[in-house]
């Protein structure tokens, strides 16, 4: 598509409303849109199959991104503004000043993920993650270690919050996400399909990470930053395993723990 940039000096246009309301995440979620922020994330959005609604950027980035914009099948609204004006949206200095609005696509069901994932399957699930940054980091680690999908429980933040998308570094555009209204039920469904559920639980005694079996179909379950995995979700798992650490360390950040667990799963499968 041919690019028709529009120079702006304020955010009064109706089309710019998603940028004006970046901090009203619930409103964006209801509309099925999200904001991508930063050069790498915006670039990966333009390279993805997600529908892109608009791009808002300083003029210096227009030439660099123009080939990607022209290659898009849809007509994207392109707004050009001074970097100082863009920084009024966030309230802090933006290193790059690139923003874009995309549409949240229809995500696959758990059955669809299972049907199209080759064995041995490697899935991950999140329970009670309230931090968008931590959820985005979990998405990024799932992509880095070849997880085939991330199941997001009903007590988690949306993985399409602006900070989650930014923290994922755009890997969410390529990671299948299953948003469930009952993580416990999703875990029971996995059991029926022969997928072993392994909880990443820091307070397990007796079974360490290397003693758990990740070679077959499995789903690694990660809990919240403060309280870990809820009792109901933990009860829906087949077993729990812990990363061995000194007594002076209670637990790791969920992103760090996920990287360790996913690495071990790949090691046991001969991929590391």
Which of 103, 118, 146 terminates a domain? The answer is 103
pLDDT by residue (tens digit) across 1-39? 678 899 999 999 999 999 988 878 888 988 999 999 999
Are residue 137 and residue 67 in the same domain, yes or no? no
Are residue 21 and residue 81 in the same domain, yes or no? yes
Are residue 73 and residue 171 in the same domain, yes or no? no
C-beta of residue 15 within 8 angstroms of C-beta of residue 78 = no
Are residue 144 and residue 159 in the same domain, yes or no? yes
C-beta of residue 55 within 8 angstroms of C-beta of residue 77 = yes
Are residue 79 and residue 127 in the same domain, yes or no? no
How many angstroms separate the CA atoms of 178 and 175, rounded?
A: 10
Q: Could you give the percent of the chain with pLDDT greater than 70? A: 95
Are residue 31 and residue 56 in the same domain, yes or no? yes
- Band the pLDDT of 89: cuts 50, 70, 90: confident
pLDDT by residue (tens digit) across 95-142? 577 899 999 999 999 999 999 999 999 999 999 999 999 999 999 999
Are residue 200 and residue 255 in the same domain, yes or no? yes
Number of other CB atoms surrounding residue 181 within 10 Å: 8
Q: Is the pLDDT of residue 93 over 80?
A: no
pLDDT at res. 83: 80
How many angstroms separate the CA atoms of 87 and 65, rounded?
A: 20
Which of 77, 103, 129 terminates a domain? The answer is 103
Q: How many domains does the chain have?
A: 2
- At a CB cut-off of 8 Å and minimum separation 6, what does 272 contact? 263, 266
Nearest residue to 8 (alpha-carbon basis) of 79, 60, 61, 91: 79
**Backbone dihedral angles phi then psi of residue 19, each to the nearest 5 degrees:** -75, -35
Domain that holds residue 234: 110-268
Look up the CATH number of the domain holding residue 13: 3.30.1330.30
Are residue 173 and residue 260 in the same domain, yes or no? yes
pLDDT by residue (tens digit) across 136-187? 999 999 999 999 999 999 999 999 999 999 999 999 999 999 999 999 999 9
Nearest residue to 73 (alpha-carbon basis) of 46, 43, 103: 46
Are residue 124 and residue 12 in the same domain, yes or no? no
Look up the CATH number of the domain holding residue 164: 3.40.1280.10
The rounded mean pLDDT for the chain is 92
Number of other CB atoms surrounding residue 235 within 10 Å: 11
pLDDT at res. 87: 79
How many angstroms separate the CA atoms of 208 and 200, rounded?
A: 10
Q: Is the pLDDT of residue 272 over 70?
A: no
- Band the pLDDT of 90: cuts 50, 70, 90: low
Which of 103, 137, 152 terminates a domain? The answer is 103
Are residue 62 and residue 148 in the same domain, yes or no? no
DSSP 105-169: PPPPPHHHHHHHSPSSPEEEEE-S---HHHHHHHHHHHHHTT-SEEEE-TTSPPTTSHHHHHHTT
Are residue 244 and residue 157 in the same domain, yes or no? yes
Q: Is the pLDDT of residue 191 over 60?
A: yes
Are residue 120 and residue 49 in the same domain, yes or no? no
Nearest residue to 150 (alpha-carbon basis) of 125, 128, 133: 125
Nearest residue to 59 (alpha-carbon basis) of 43, 78, 80: 80
């Amino acid at each position: 598509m041919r690019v028709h940039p529009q120079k702006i000096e304020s955010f009064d246009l109706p089309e710019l409303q998603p940028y004006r309301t970046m901090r009203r995440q619930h409103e964006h979620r209801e509309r099925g849109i999200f904001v991508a922020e930063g050069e790498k994330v915006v670039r990966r959005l333009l390279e993805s199959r997600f529908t892109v609604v608009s791009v808002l950027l300083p003029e210096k980035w227009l030439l660099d991104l123009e080939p990607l914009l022209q290659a898009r099948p849809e007509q994207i609204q392109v707004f050009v503004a001074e970097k100082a004006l863009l920084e009024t949206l966030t309230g802090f200095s933006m290193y790059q000043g690139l923003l874009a609005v995309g549409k949240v696509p229809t995500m696959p069901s758990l059955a669809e993920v299972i049907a199209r994932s080759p064995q041995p399957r490697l899935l991950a699930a999140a329970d009670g993650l309230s931090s968008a940054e931590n959820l985005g980091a979990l998405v990024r680690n799932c992509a880095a270690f070849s997880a085939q999908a991330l199941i997001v429980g009903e007590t988690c933040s949306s993985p399409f919050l602006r900070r989650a998308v930014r923290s994922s570094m755009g890997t969410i555009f390529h990671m299948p996400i299953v948003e469930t209204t009952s993580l416990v039920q999703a875990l029971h469904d996995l059991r029926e399909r022969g997928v072993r559920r392994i909880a990443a639980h820091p307070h397990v005694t007796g079974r360490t990470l290397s003693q758990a079996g990740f070679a077959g179909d499995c789903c690694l379950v990660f809990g919240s930053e403060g309280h870990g995995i809820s009792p109901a979700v933990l009860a829906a798992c087949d077993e729990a395993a812990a990363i061995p650490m000194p007594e002076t360390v209670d637990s790791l950040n969920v992103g760090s723990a996920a990287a360790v667990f996913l690495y071990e799963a790949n090691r046991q499968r001969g991929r590391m």
